[in-house]
Amino acid sequence: MPKVLLINAIDKSLLLAEQPPFAFPVLNIITVAALFPPEWKIEVIDEAIEAVNLDTDANLVGISTLTLDATHAYELADHFRHRKMPVLMGGMHPTAMPEEALQHADAVVVGEAEEIFNRILSDFKADRMKGTYRSEKLPDLHRLPRPRYDLLRTKHRSILHSVQATRGCPHDCEFCSVTPFFGHQYRLRPVKEVIADLETSFMEARSRTVFFVDDNIGGRAEYAKELFRALIPLKIKWGSFASVAMTRDRELMRLASESGCIALFIGFESLSQANLDALHKSWVRADHMREYVNLFHDNGIIVEGAFIFGHDGDHKDIFRKTVDFIQETGIQVPVFGLLTPYPATKLRTRLEKEGRLLPEAKDWRLYDGSHVLFKPIHMAPEELEEGFLWARKYCAAPRTIFGRMFRAPKAHWLTALGLNFSMRAGRMRQIKERWPRSKGRLIRPGTW
């Protein structure tokens, strides 16, 4: 019986701030696991919760990696190749940098795996698995094999269950890895199949709090409404990523709420229209920001509001302006990031052309959204980093958490409070590490 070891590579030496405080039920490796025929023995390892057995006797090693974990993933790949074990890599980073990944792996899957997996396996059997595998067409999401949830650990199912209903996003924001990865197509799984998948999960006693890993759950209103209507009888609580475009459709918002949506991660990105236009996000209107937040709140949905610092139009007053907006509107869970030139994005191509990438941009370990990797226009890189850490610290202080929670609606109040305090620990650890004592107190009166 051939054996494969599938690894979700996580570089444990990195101190990330925005991580969920529990084991997230990762879909990458269990989705790939479902593509193997039954004669394969499959072991999955999510390094977020356990270490890889470097002495494994697997016949094939598969490694999934995002950009920030790529250096570590390559070390793992080198180790197994040194042991003469064939290595196959896939995921966001190998897709963006296949030539680089091929220096460490025998073969790389570029993009989604479903359409080409049989060819990879037959090449593996014939001892000729080599180079890049890229499917001619994007996978059809009808009758996708159900991810092998059974291979995850008990820890992965304690808080959340994860599922995917759509792939891709109808938009194409300059900084985002999603559209370069999935192509400019938004694909939908049949609602019936999503529901059947969830019903099976509940029979397996998985959590009834569900996270849809979709990039934009409301991306096509008619589909989303059909999905939300079908979710109502399941009586679940759910969260996902969405865009402010959802607020244009009041029925969609109501159905989201009625179907159990308690929190949405919304990329507001910037309060300046010029910045939004430059990001190819003109459909977000800076002058409607308050209204967007109110519409989510009116439907009892917690807003996890993401703002990015470092846009070309950002001046030093951006940090204060953004935290004031958050506190005034009662955005329950603010999430800050620095504009990051992920490989294969339009942003990276532009910054390269403009000669603005810093030497640090060569280090993939810094791609966690908290490092300055290019020269900003109106600030020094150090000022951008300091302002970002300041904003994050300001909003993580118990005083400000309670301040904005006071302005937020009462629906899911405790959940929102819990989210703030559980994220606070990671954020404070990172701030302490990055803010050397020699620089003095981070929050000095009138700093920003």
In the complex, which residues of this chain contact ligand B12 (CB under 6 A)? 8, 10, 16, 18-20, 24, 26-28, 31-32, 62-64, 66-69, 88-93, 109, 112-114, 164, 176-178, 213, 215, 342, 368-369
Q: Is residue 207 near ligand SF4 by the rule CB under 6 A?
A: no
Q: How far is the CB of 309 from ligand B12 (least distance, A)?
A: 13
Q: Which of residues 34-63 bind ligand SF4 (CB under 6 A)?
A: none
Q: How far is the CB of 185 from ligand SF4 (least distance, A)?
A: 12
Which SS3 state, helix, strand or coil, does residue 145 take? coil
**389: number of Cβ within 10 Å:** 22
Q: Which is nearer to ligand SF4, 113 or 176 (CB)?
A: 176
Q: Which is nearer to ligand SF4, 179 or 322 (CB)?
A: 179
Q: Which of residues 226-285 bind ligand SF4 (CB under 6 A)?
A: 243, 267
Q: How far is the CB of 282 from ligand B12 (least distance, A)?
A: 19
Strand 107-110 relative to strand 166-167, pairing: unpaired
Query: For tokens 């999503």, what's the residue?
Result: 194
Q: Which is nearer to ligand B12, 304 or 314 (CB)?
A: 304
Q: How far is the CB of 215 from ligand SF4 (least distance, A)?
A: 4
| Chosen from ligand B12, ligand SF4, none, partner binding at 171 (C-beta under 5 to 8 Å by type) | ligand SF4
Q: How far is the CB of 340 from ligand B12 (least distance, A)?
A: 7
- Interface pick for ligand SF4 out of 216, 240, 247, 420 (rule CB under 6 A): 216
Tokens for 107, please give them: 């073969």
What track of x and - describes contact with ligand SF4 for positions 160 through 199 (by CB under 6 A)?
Answer: ---------x-xxx--x-xx--------------------
Give me the amino acid identity at 38. Answer: P
| Chosen from ligand SF4, ligand B12, none, partner binding at 169 (C-beta under 5 to 8 Å by type) | ligand SF4
Q: How far is the CB of 440 from ligand SF4 (least distance, A)?
A: 36
Q: Which is nearer to ligand B12, 109 or 263 (CB)?
A: 109
Q: How far is the CB of 294 from ligand SF4 (least distance, A)?
A: 20
* 77-to-52, 157, 160, 178, 420 alpha-carbon distances in Å: 12, 28, 30, 25, 37
CA pair distance 259, 269, nearest whole angstrom? 27
* 2: region left, alpha or beta (phi > 0 left; psi from -120 to 50 alpha): beta
Q: How far is the CB of 233 from ligand B12 (least distance, A)?
A: 26
Q: Which is nearer to ligand SF4, 176 or 416 (CB)?
A: 176
191's CB contacts (< 8 A; 6+ apart) are 165, 223, 226, 227, 230
Q: Are 154 and 205 in contact (CB under 8 A)?
A: no
Among 311, 293, 310, which Cα is nearest to 302's? 293
Q: Which is nearer to ligand SF4, 46 or 215 (CB)?
A: 215
| Chosen from ligand SF4, ligand B12, none, partner binding at 327 (C-beta under 5 to 8 Å by type) | none
Q: Which is nearer to ligand SF4, 159 or 278 (CB)?
A: 278
Listed in sequence order, the DSSP H helices in 64-190 are 70-82, 92-96, 98-101, 117-125, 178-182
- In the DSSP assignment, the letter for residue 151 is G
What track of x and - describes contact with ligand SF4 for positions 60 through 79 (by CB under 6 A)?
Answer: --------------------
**373: number of Cβ within 10 Å:** 24
Q: Which is nearer to ligand B12, 176 or 326 (CB)?
A: 176
Q: How far is the CB of 245 from ligand SF4 (least distance, A)?
A: 8
Q: How far is the CB of 260 from ligand B12 (least distance, A)?
A: 19
Residues in a beta bridge with 237:
209
* 112-to-180, 216, 241, 312, 407 alpha-carbon distances in Å: 12, 18, 20, 33, 43
Length of the chain: 448
Rg from Cα positions in the chain: 22
254's CB contacts (< 8 A; 6+ apart) are 299
- Contacts with ligand SF4 by CB under 6 A lie at 169, 171-173, 176, 178-179, 215-216, 243, 267
